[in-house]
Amino acid sequence: MSEKLKFAVIGGGSWATAIAKMLCVNLSEIAWYMRNDSAIEHIQKYKHNPNYLSSVEFDTNKLKLTNNINEAIEYADYIIFAIPSAFLDAELKNMTVSLADKIIFSAIKGIVPETSLIVGEHFHIQYDIPYYNIGVITGPCHAEEVALERLSYLTIACGDPEKACIVAKSLSGNYIKAKISDDIIGTEYAAMLKNIYAIAAGIAHGLGYGDNFQSVMMSNGIREMKKFIRKVHKMKRNINDSAYLGDLLVTGYSVFSRNRMFGNMIGKGYTVKSAMMEMSMVAEGYYATKSAYKLNQGYGAKTPIIDAVYAVLYEGKDAKTVFKKLTESLD
């Protein structure tokens, strides 16, 4: 059944490359949009993405590569967006074809800065896409480990379980296990919030706090996340599932975590600007911090970790002082 359905991947970064790799295992052809012409030429010629996960080899007969977002959208029934949330709005402005009747899955773990909405809500509100045609791909799954074919788990959330199953089936393989969920809003907020906690973990590490403190922070982080998500969308969910807690742990502890790396640089004394320039990849948590902080002004959940990260990144407060104060409010 999923063989007849067409998939497109939007984005040329590491996560988009990992998703394209997973889909190519199960599908005979996919459309793949990226802005970078030279990367497209390189993939066509050498079968590798020159900029991200360059160890992954593609069968180019399976790839319909394009630098025109409209071509990819027109081609596909299922469209998987995997570009940093900060660039999503600008990319969508280049779109002239309709998204009506298309099924949109977001693999973007962030908030759209222009609207302060998570990606699913952004598509629903800005483009009138019904929630049963919107889904989310989350879970503790770093692109670098997909490239290495290490066992990874995904959670596919959609209002329509049949569509979640189709995507799960299309992504699953020997080293990818995918399960489905109906908590679109909760899993997407969790995916966004955990990047903030990863920055906090990085800052703490950069300041010289050890593993003992980090474990306390992660324990407080998951409880803080639970409070925040409950305010946003109340439903029965187990916050200890891998889509929530698992994703938080891998992002907070992994050497592949760019949000943790970003926080680590801040903790070591880099300015926000210099840390961002040093990293070639976007740390989603930077944008998420501002959005989550602003949203929470309305929700009023108790979020000392988000508040601390916001104070360091956006109010220019001294990380050492802020985190010293934070240690007194955690338990």
- On whether both 212 and 74 belong to a single domain, the answer is no
Q: Are 142 and 250 in contact (CB under 8 A)?
A: yes
Show which of 155, 182, 209 is a domain's final residue.
182
Sign of CA dihedral 318, 321, 327, 330: negative
* Longest alpha-carbon distance in the chain: 58
- On whether both 73 and 154 belong to a single domain, the answer is yes
Which one is predicted more confidently, 255 or 168?
168
Q: Are 43 and 65 in contact (CB under 8 A)?
A: yes
Judging by DSSP bridges, how do beta strands 176-181 and 111-112 pair with one another?
unpaired
Show which of 156, 182, 208 is a domain's final residue.
182
pLDDT tier at 116, thresholds 50, 70, 90: confident
Show which of 129, 156, 182 is a domain's final residue.
182
Q: Are 286 and 272 in contact (CB under 8 A)?
A: yes
In this prediction the pTM is: 0.92
- On whether both 86 and 208 belong to a single domain, the answer is no
Calculate mean pLDDT across residues 190-196.
Answer: 95
- On whether both 171 and 23 belong to a single domain, the answer is yes
Q: Is residue 1 part of a domain?
A: no
Calculate mean pLDDT across residues 27-48.
Answer: 97
302 catalytic? Reply is: no
pLDDT tier at 282, thresholds 50, 70, 90: confident
Taking the CA of residue 327 as centre, how many other CA atoms within 13 Å lie in the half-sphere pointing to its CB?
13
Q: Is residue 273 part of a domain?
A: yes
- On whether both 60 and 191 belong to a single domain, the answer is no
Identify the active-site residue in 194, 227, 231, 324.
194
314's CB contacts (< 8 A; 6+ apart) are 289, 290, 293
Determine which helix (DSSP H) or strand (DSSP E) holds 101, and give its type and residue range: none
176's CB contacts (< 8 A; 6+ apart) are 22, 141, 146, 152, 153, 154
Tally of domains in the chain: 2
Judge whether residue 6 has pLDDT over 50: yes
Percent of the chain with pLDDT over 90: 88
- On whether both 90 and 118 belong to a single domain, the answer is yes
Assign residue 51 the CATH number of its domain: 3.40.50.720
Q: In terms of residue numbers, what domain contains 322?
A: 186-329
